[in-house]
Amino acid sequence: MDFILDDLFHLIGVERVYRKHDRQEALCCMGILTRIDPERSKRFQDMNLKDAVDVGAEAMVFLCPFCQIFLGKQAGEQGLKTISIT
């Protein structure tokens, strides 16, 4: 999906910032494991959000509806816009 996302961002004039936890190094939000292993799930979510904030991202783009559900509110609280692409 990365090449499609890159092409889409290019067409609409969006810069995809380099993140440690992106592309081949992307982290799952672990949202569906929240009830089974909440500490691990929270750690992965925090790592994703910190990564985006640390590089100056303005928004989080979600391809996965679970990621948007489990990260969207926290992303908004961090000042990031949330955008879903399905």
Interacting residues of 28 by C-beta distance below 8 A, sequence separation 6+: 44, 67
| pLDDT number for residue 23 | 66
| pLDDT number for residue 2 | 74
Q: Indicate the number of domains in the chain.
A: 1
Closest CA to 1 of 30, 26, 20, 32: 26
Residue 84, classed as helix, strand or coil, is strand
Which residues span the domain enclosing 39?
2-84
- The mean per-residue pLDDT over the stretch 6-26 comes to 78
pLDDT at 26 over 80: no
| pLDDT number for residue 58 | 92
- The mean per-residue pLDDT over the stretch 70-84 comes to 91
pLDDT at 17 over 70: yes
